Amino acid sequence: MMEIKKFTFSDKDLMKMSHLIRKKVFVFEQNCPAELEWEFEEESIHFLVIDNKKAVATARHRKTEKGIKLERFAVLKEERGKGYGHYILKAILKDLNNFDGLIYMHAQCEVIPFYEKLNFKKRGAKFEEAGILHYKMIL
């Protein structure tokens, strides 16, 4: 059975599961500097996909001066291609359903088509962030 948990930084158990996924994906798999991975944790709203009691994907959103920024989308390597990314993105967008402002993200170039399927559009030039090429995308 699959479920999506919405939580804040104060839920230490869910944060631990989310951090483990992000550490595997961003720090180990993509070689992102660990010190960049753990910023803005307390002000973010976090999401975790749990399938058959296993945490498989995570993401978050947070308010910025520009609007709401979607961040830290991570699906465990062995769980990719099963729709978890779409589930979590749709849950976040549902959570933001009443927000009347800019919803945006910095998306890694290789996953641009994934976000385009859910109506995100590239804006501006390609840029480097944490050693990986990105585009700004807006909903």
For the chain, domain boundaries: 2-138
Q: Is the pTM of this model over 0.85?
A: yes
Residue ranges in the chain whose pLDDT is less than 50: none
Query: b/e map of 85-121 (b: 16 or more CB within 10 Å)?
Result: bebbbebbbeebeeeeeebbbebbeeebeebeeeebe
State the CATH architecture for 2-138: 3-Layer(aba) Sandwich (3.40)
CA-based nearest residue to 107, from 134, 71, 130: 134
User: Sign of torsion, CA 25 19 42 62?
Assistant: positive
pLDDT tens for 52-86 read 999 999 999 999 999 999 999 999 999 999 999 99
